[in-house]
Structure 1
Amino acid sequence: MYSVLIVDDEPLIREGLRTIVDWEEEGFRVVDVASDAAEALRKLPLLEPRLVIVDIRMPGMDGLELLRTIQEQYRPCPRFLILSGYADFEYARTALQLRVDGYLLKPIDEDELVRYLRRVKEELEAIDREEAEERNLEGRILKLLSGEEASLGGTKEWIAMAYEIALIKLQSREEIEAATVARIKRLLAERFERVGRGAVFSSGAYLGLLLKETGSSLSGREDAYRLIAEACGECGLDFVSVAGGAVPDQASLRRSYERARALMKHHFLYAGERMHLAEPETPDEAEDAETGSAEDRLFLALDAANPAAVEAVLRRMGAGWLAAGASEQELKAGFVASMSAAISKLSLKRPELREQLQTLNARTASLYGEYRYGQLLERLVSIGKDISNRLSEDNGGPDKQVRKMIELIHRNSSDSLKLEALAEALGYSSSYLGKLFKSATGENFNTYLDKVRIGKAKELLRQGKKVYEVAEQVGYTNVDYFHAKFRKYVGSSPISFRKKGEGEDTTE
């Protein structure tokens, strides 16, 4: 029995329709009624009727609006019969454009209604038979791919020159509903199975296509990709697809399937726009350990308000993790942790911008929702650009770059600063920037950095701090080295300097 929902604002019509024909004799059963469109939309997901009989003229949302809404939102979509008390040609024409199965005028003619019901029943039975055949075919395909069967049974429509398996992973930043997956699967079936181009099946988290070659090319992978894109586009989803390579017979399809599964393990690294046939290439940019850790370089690039340097550091970080075999979640966690740490450190160095920077930092949590490596990098670079926009001034010209360099030294002198790292952050070669800096200040980079550190050390010693504490706080990890540098620039030891300043016990 096929279920029926009657939607009409007139109680007499609703009840009259229940008794006007012998519904069960015609293969139908009226499961419920609704007095308006809103009530119908509430009941529809629960009842899942195969046929909806709806009145055009209703208060609020009329019958045609209800029909459009159901067709847009529900899959599988029920069949429709339209009721109207008016011989309105425009309404009838609109109803036909919306693919209704019949247009009945009130008072309803019993024989006419029966004729429509019988026609709808025939079409529903044909759809059910087709879906049963599709399920049967899918089961045979899965047995073939698991090795339980050696062929699809020798049906003529599946005799071909070659075969190939393609897998599809649906992608979205939001959770994908099962109903949406089912709709895309049905759309793919319409585009492939019903025109003899292939078959659709489910394989765990993926949708699969069994493509067959009937001419000079294997159903055209580009054409297949286009059809997949159309189906996913109708449902507002992105996707990635891979192909396992052509095989000469059905018995070899498992090889194509296993190859496609192996390729799909790298789905996070694939871009869209084509069906992928090979493993993605790992970026060959290597992180240079000589210029400091990646996290330090990222911080300096952000502090220098240089988006290009930020992007370069991020890409090298990602390349290093990929080369080490990092998983999707490890990549995301690494990027989020590094960017968040750099922004937090920047907030401490630039307290006047702390609130703005923390707002940007909050955006890093959403990076876990990205489903493509390229998109993840784009989002990270975008955050870096936003930070640069908040920090940057006009950095053009050598003099301004030297001023920016001096600002970075004073702000970060306690860190493990190196000329190479600053040069990268500012977008210059280290040799050029070193010459530029000495020309402008009269001192080379290391001398200037030492003097800034010693100047801060003198302030801390005057506050009575112990020598080993001061050495660590201004950027010297070796206390003896700090002693030597302090004596070189001040002319006395740190202990003697503090004694002169405070007259305290010099025991360390």
Structure 2
Amino acid sequence: MYSILIVDDEPLIREGLRTIIDWEEHGFRVVDVASDAAEALRKHQQLEPSLMIVDIRMPGMDGLELLRKIHEQYRPCPHFLILSGYADFEYARTALQLKVDGYLLKPIDEDELISYLRKVKDEIDEDNRVINRGRDRDWESRILELLSGKDPVPIGTNDWNWSSYEIALVKPLSREEIDAATIAQVKRLLAESFDHTGRGIVFSIDSYVGVLLKETAESPSKHRATYNLINEACGKCGLDFIVVAGGAVPKPELLGRSYERACSLIKQRFLYSGGKLHLAEPELQGNGTDSEAISADDKLFLALDAANPKAAEDALHGMGSSWLAAGANELEIKGGFVSKMSATISRLSLNRPELREHVQTYNAEVTALYGEYRYEHLLKKLSSICMGICDKLNEKDAGPDKQVRKMIELIHRNSSDHLRLETLAEALGYNSSYLGKLFKSTTGDNFNTYLDKVRIDKAKELLRQGKKVYQVAEQIGYTNVDYFHAKFRKYVGSSPISFRKNPEGDEPTE
């Protein structure tokens, strides 16, 4: 991972550059920013960045003067990308004479920036390879050579005379941004535990801390010990982490296989739980897609409307299972939960005034879900939000009468939806057969009859307003107009058209 210092006098540009792309994906990390050339000189001396992105026009000392000073005073020099809002050829020509690696015009084109980063990374990698070839005992560089597959440094039989070799990759995790100094501290602590004790060799590669593990083939105890040492090092730095291992190989020349496997595993780090070193693909949680007629987000809405946190949690798990089964990635899963949860809260607040003053708070909690780095943490946070909503909605009394009242309220609020007794029973946490009998003994009607009556009452209101028959059928939850006609005649005694013509008549007119 190579470090970047951004130098620009415009705050929006500085902060915008931090987030314009996923820097780590391209082998870089933004370690700091500077608002002028003088501050950049100080920070360059402290941080020794591999790459500086410099605005060419700044008050006081401009970007080109900054480049000259660094070239004159420091060896080795970092690589440079020049940034400017002006398509000025003379500036560009001067910059090229100062051996800059690229010239970017504002607004910055992401693809062009990424292209320059690849070029710079290749050059730095090559520079490092040339330097490292002269260090016979530089184990880290020798491992990187092996994993890259480019001109590996020969390894003598007396150097690594182990029975097996395995690559482990560690990804430190936090809800906050992790700076380069903290990553370096983790690496130093791991080196003390592995390099200095003969357990393995620590190295850095891409955005990970790697460990070449010694003789772990079919040794769960060594994997547990590895996890414990990593846990200790990351814990001292206040970090969580995920660690995977790519499987043992019999000789160092085959380490690329272990590394490729580890890379494949760690790309799925969002789905792993903590507490162990992972050797296999994460297990998909849940039972796949929801095959029932009612959607998972409708289940979530009904569960919350019924103030049943357990049913809400089940609906969330069902939602997530569907996305996992469809192969959704981390960002898609987070975005899906944020979108569904926000929409559900908004929908609830329309008919539940006791929630309205809390909507902004709930939405802030939902937006914060993007900061979660584990799927299991995401689900726990969602369940906690649902519990808070249910606490606001729950009545103090309990017992069967309460559940029937809740059913009646749910039917009246959501009669146009695809309601079924089984769905409401699940939302309320009751057996559907028992709840159906309880409902009939309390209301005198079975569930479907009561739902039909509520819908027909709403239909009569809409027909009195002059709505067309097909519009009314759709609005009250009947997708088939002929079926609506039959239901209306059954409960009202006339057709919808006749009722609309004579809504107050004592006798139906045909």
Distance 1:216 1:502 in 2: 84
- Which letter maps to 1:161? S
User: 2:347 is matched with which residue?
Assistant: 345
Q: Which one-letter code corresponds to 1:413 in the other structure?
A: S
Taking structure 1 as reference, are residues 411 and 170 closer, same or farther at Cα in structure 2, changes over 3 Å only? Answer: same
> Structure 2 length as normaliser, TM-score?
0.70
1:443-454 mapped onto 2 (5 Å cutoff): 443-454=445-456
Give unpaired runs (5+ residues) of structure 2: 1-40, 48-133, 506-510
Which residue, out of 138, 144, 147, partners 2:146? 144
d(CA) in 2 for partners of 1:200, 1:352: 56
CA contact (8 A) 2:354 2:392 kept: no
- Give the TM-score normalised by the residue count of structure 1: 0.70
Give the C-alpha shift of residue 261 in structure 1. Answer: 1.1
**Which of 250, 253, 269 is matched with 1:251 structurally?**
253
Q: Which residue of 2 aligns with 1:369?
A: 371
Q: Distance in 2 between matches of 1:188 and 1:166?
A: 12
Contact 1:163/1:218 (8 A) holds in 2: no
Equivalent residue for 2:474? 472
Supply the distance in 2 between the matched residues of 1:231 and 1:394 (Cα, whole angstroms): 48
Sort the Cα spacing of 1:352 and 1:470 in 2 relative to 1 into closer, same or farther, 3 A. Answer: farther
Moved more, 272-281 or 433-442: 433-442
Say if 1:462 and 1:502, in contact at 8 Å, map to a contact too. Answer: no
Q: CA deviation at 1:364?
A: 1.0
Once the two structures are TM-superposed, the CA of residue 386 in structure 1 deviates from its matched residue by 0.6
2:170 to 160, 168, 171: 168
The alignment yields a C-alpha RMSD, in angstroms, of 3.0
Give distance in 1, aligned partners of 2:373 and 2:277.
17
The structural deviation recorded for 1:219 is 8.1
> 1:386 matched to which residue of 2?
388
The one-letter amino acid paired with 2:261 is: R
User: Structure 1: which 5+ residue stretches go unaligned?
Assistant: 1-42, 50-131, 504-508
Question: How far does residue 465 in structure 1 lie from its aligned partner after superposition?
Answer: 2.9
On the 8 A contact 2:288/2:324 being kept in 1, the answer is no
Partner SS state of residue 502, structure 2: helix
Name the structure 2 match of 1:279: 281
Residue 179 of structure 2 aligns with an amino acid whose one-letter code is E
The 2-side partners of 1:206 and 1:134 are apart by: 24
Q: Give 1:399-414 correspondences, 5 Å limit.
A: 399-414=401-416
Q: CA deviation at 1:133?
A: 6.5
Compared with structure 1, are the counterparts of its residues 199 and 294 closer, same or farther at alpha carbon in structure 2 (3 Å cutoff)?
same
**Aligned residues between the structures:** 384
One-letter identity of the residue aligned with 2:438: L
- Helix, strand or coil for the counterpart of 2:358? helix
Q: Following the alignment from structure 2 to structure 1, what is the Cα–Cα distance between the partners of residues 493 and 222?
A: 80
Could you tell me whether the CA contact under 8 Å between 1:152 and 1:158 is conserved in 2?
no
Q: What is the 5 A alignment of 1:101-500? A: 136-148=138-150, 153-154=155-156, 156=158, 158-213=160-215, 217=219, 220-394=222-396, 396-500=398-502
Structure 1 contact 415–475 (Cα < 8 Å) conserved = yes
- Structure 2 counterpart of 1:459, one-letter code: E
- Give the aligned residue type for 2:370: Y
Number of the residue aligned with 2:95: none
Shift, 1:167, TM fit: 0.5
**What secondary structure, in the 3-state scheme, does the structure 1 residue paired with 2:138 have?**
helix
Return the letter of the residue paired with 1:392: N
Measured in 1, the distance between the counterparts of 2:456 and 2:503 equals: 15
Measure how far apart 1:202 and its partner are: 1.6
Do the aligned residues in 2 keep the contact of 1:157 with 1:196 (CA within 8 Å)?
Answer: no
- Alignment-derived partner of residue 85 in structure 1: none
**In the TM superposition, what is the alpha-carbon distance from 1:478 to its structure 2 partner?**
2.5
Q: 1:45 offset after TM fit, Å? A: 6.7
Deviation of 1:238 (Å): 0.9
| 1:145-170 superposed Cα distances (whole Å, 9 cap, x missing partner) | 22346676227452212111100111
What per-residue deviation string (whole Å, max 9, x for no partner) do you get for residues 9-57 of structure 1? xxxxxxxxxxxxxxxxxxxxxxxxxxxxxxxxxx9977659xxxxxxxx
Distance 1:317 1:225, change over 3 A: same
The DSSP-based 3-state class of the residue aligned with 2:241 is strand
Which 10-residue stretch deviates more, 413-422 or 442-451? 413-422
Q: SS of 1:465's equivalent? A: coil
Aligned partners of 1:135 and 1:334: how far apart in 2?
50
* C-alpha contact 2:164 2:217 (8 A) present in aligned 1: no
**Closer/same/farther in 2, CA of residues 435 and 413 from structure 1, 3 Å limit:** same
Quote how far apart the aligned CAs of 1:196 are. Answer: 1.9
Flag the 1:358–1:502 CA change in 2: closer, same or farther, 3 A: farther
Q: What code does the residue aligned with 2:272 have? A: Y
| Identical residues among aligned pairs (%) | 65
Q: Secondary structure at the match of 1:276?
A: coil
Runs of 4+ in 1 over 6 A off after TM superposition: 43-46, 132-135
Q: Partner amino acid for 2:139?
A: L
Counterpart Cα distance in 2 of 1:371 and 1:235 = 17
Q: Deviations over 1:394-452 (max 9, x none)?
A: 46422221111111101111222111211111112322322222222221111100101
